[in-house]
Amino acid sequence: VVPAFRAEEHVPPKSNTPTYAALKLHLDNWRWSGVPFYLRTGKRLATRLTEIAIRFKSPPHLLFRDTPIERLNPNWLVLSLQSTEGISLSFDAKVPGAVMRLGNVEMNFCYRDHFGSEPQTGYERLLYDCLLGDATLFQRADVVEASWRAVMPILDAWEGASPHDFPNYAAGSWGPGAADELMARDGRRWRNG
């Protein structure tokens, strides 16, 4: 059990400091038109996890006509960035045999299992690259400025308005219920670890 943010030393018990964000974003270009991007981050969540999870669209028609297969599970490609670096692909495949049955297949690649050592943390790598003068993993100034142009209006709006319904959440949970409602409006749910 970990203490909640407001229970930490030097944090006011009525603090309204933002510690969690859940967003639905769209990219304004033809390639990603209609594709939602859901992001969430927060302090003291159930686990420390950074991943990019891509859920592939279901086909518009049933692939296995005239069989007992009524629906397919979604295919997932998950890029795990932290704390266990790797890639996994999850999909349904036909179980061998004369009867039409599907079984879930998990293909997993984990750096630690494959190479036998822990990858460097992000900071170790960045500090080492700084010493070498290698800027490959660093953002260019124009990209940083564009990011701030996108984020500052949100931060300014938050600063100018007091929260009417502060969506607090328990330490060790996956965040406030409002984040689940964000996904439920689109008939989706978060992947929780």
Each residue's pLDDT tens digit, 40-80: 999 889 988 888 999 888 777 777 677 777 777 889 999 99
The rounded distance, in Å, linking the Cα atoms of 188 and 129 is 40
Partners of 72 in beta bridges:
none
- The candidate with the shortest Cα–Cα distance to 180, out of 27, 31, 3, 24, is 24
d(CA 181, CA 22): 10
- Which residues partner with 42 through β-bridges? 20
Q: Higher confidence at residue 59 or residue 108? A: 108
Dist. CA 50–CA 120, nearest whole Å: 15
Amino acid at 162: S
Rounded-to-integer distance, Cα 135 and Cα 132, Å: 9
On the question of pLDDT at 186 being above 90, the answer is yes
Max mean pLDDT among 62-66, 155-159, 161-165 falls in 155-159
Predicted pLDDT of residue 27: 87
Our measurement of the distance from residue 129's CA atom to the centroid of its chain's CA atoms, rounded to an integer in Å, reads 26
Peptide bond into 83 cis (omega under 30): yes
Planar angle of CA 33, 36, 40, nearest 5 degrees: 150
Q: What is the pLDDT of residue 3?
A: 82
Q: What are phi and psi of 3, to 5 degrees?
A: -70, 150
Mention every residue, 6+ apart, whose C-beta is less than 8 A from residue 34: 26
Query: What pLDDT is stored for residue 77 in this prediction?
Result: 94
- Count, in order, helices (H) and strands (E) of the chain: 4, 6
User: DSSP label at 59?
Assistant: P
